Amino acid sequence: MPRIVLEHVSKRFDKFVAVDDLNIVIEDRDFITLLGPSGCGKTTTLRMIAGLETPTEGRITIGDTVVFDAEKGINLSPAKRDIGFLFQNYALWPHMTVYQNIAFGLENLKWKREDIKSRVYEMLRLLKIEEFVHRYPAELSGGQQQRVAIARTLAPAPKVLFMDEPLSNLDAKLRSEMRTELKRLHSDSDSTFVYVTHDQLEAMTLATKICLMNKGVLQQYDPPLTVYSKPNNIFVADFVGNPTMNFINAKLSEVDGKHVLSLFGLYATFTANMNKPLNRENVIVGVRPEHIAITDSGKINATAYSALPAGMETTVKVKIKDALVSSVVFGAIDYKTDQAIKCDIISDQICIFDANTKELISQGSISINSL
């Protein structure tokens, strides 16, 4: 079964390092998203696994086969890697019907006529496009064309399916529908999915594991909720989540064996749930917006800077001394501008980052000391 292993894979274009010493294992039937800002090396990584780009260094194994090894001079062609692609521009053949588009790849693989027919109909049912079987691409909507493209890619049952921003041409509603279908498709098929996106929400909701890159360097490779709740560094913490995590400059000291943080001109006791030494003074405290509670019993005096009720939840910009932080509260609550409020930091997943290296050094809970 296909397990994909990348060992010390790098890609340089002249002196420019597009992918730098990447080591990841993609398990059989995983749904991996390659996530990161534009230019971080997502497409290059995908193309190297697929065999469309030659790595400068490293080794790539798919299943039991070494498909690339820089030292041994192994480099299998894409056709020999048993993979399917779905790229952003999924052009269907305009002169072929939906049926012919899906059948085409199978004919090339010399499948028998009746096998092709039953497989095409299986795909049409799976993607709910049976009624369009005899239409030409020009007679379909963008979303329907997209589904035909997915059917065409899935028809030969590739062991690994690569997708590079396949939903970027669709409107918000269709995107969300297609996400649901892709996730179902993944659980209904035996394939491993590798999916490129720069949309953090898409990565969070689809993936079994997120591979988050920045400037060619892997930042974190973990399940979505781990990436969200235990980010390796400030880049990851900031990239994932909307509204983004609040970052608060603070000083850390030890008083009577306890860790004390000074932030917003207040003192707070920090109780770590990680066993790492906390011997820094300058730190950045990371708090997710949903962990800033607005409550009458709160120990932090603040004012409401602005409130954006969105129906299900309200994003409140809270002013604490000179700092502005985001809080997300459930329900539609409209605070008046500059209304006095009280808030508290409630979570045992408060992040403490080193102010210099920006790495996560601890996590735990904060209790604001009463004065």
Ligand X SMILES: Nc1ncnc2c1ncn2[C@@H]1O[C@H](COP(=O)(O)OP(=O)(O)OP(=O)(O)O)[C@@H](O)[C@H]1O
Calculate the alpha carbon distances from 69 to 7, 96, 132, 302 in Å: 9, 39, 44, 59
Using CA atoms, how far apart are residues 70 and 299, in angstroms rounded to an integer? 59
Is residue 146 near Mg ion by the rule CB under 5 A?
no
User: Does residue 15 touch ligand X according to CB under 6 A?
Assistant: no
The partner in contact with residue 230, picked from Mg ion, ligand X, none with C-beta cut-offs of 5 to 8 angstroms by kind, is: none
User: What single-letter DSSP state applies at residue 359?
Assistant: B
Is 212 an interacting residue with respect to ligand X (CB under 6 A)?
no
Q: Which stretch binds ligand X (CB under 6 A): 35-43, 69-77, 346-354, 363-371?
A: 35-43
Taking alpha carbons only, the member of 265, 268, 258 closest to residue 367 is: 268
Q: Does 45 bind Mg ion (CB under 5 A)?
A: no
Rounded Cα distance, 106 and 110, in Å = 6
Q: Which is nearer to Mg ion, 22 or 341 (CB)?
A: 22
41 binds, among ligand X, Mg ion, none (CB under 5 to 8 A by kind): ligand X
198 or 280, CB closer to ligand X? 198
Decide: is 167 part of the binding site for ligand X (CB under 6 A): no
CA dihedral 271, 274, 277, 278 (to 10 degrees): -40
Long-range contacts, stretch 225-230, CB < 8 angstroms, 24+ apart: 228/204, 229/349, 230/349, 230/351, 230/360, 230/363
- Contact call for residue 318 and ligand X (CB under 6 A): no
- Asked if 197 touches Mg ion (CB under 5 A), the answer is no
Q: Contact region for ligand X (CB under 6 A) — 41-49, 93-101, 230-238, 260-268?
A: 41-49
Please tell me whether residue 43 binds Mg ion under the rule CB under 5 A.
yes
Q: Exactly one of 4, 40, 160, 236 binds ligand X (CB under 6 A); which one?
A: 40
DSSP classification of residue 233: B
Asked if residue 219 lies in contact with residue 212, where contact means CB atoms within 8 angstroms, the answer is yes
**Is residue 43 within the footprint of ligand X (CB under 6 A)?**
yes
Binding span for Mg ion by CB under 5 A among 29-37, 38-46, 233-241, 276-284: 38-46
Which residues are at the interface with ligand X (CB under 6 A)? 13, 16, 18, 36, 38-44, 198
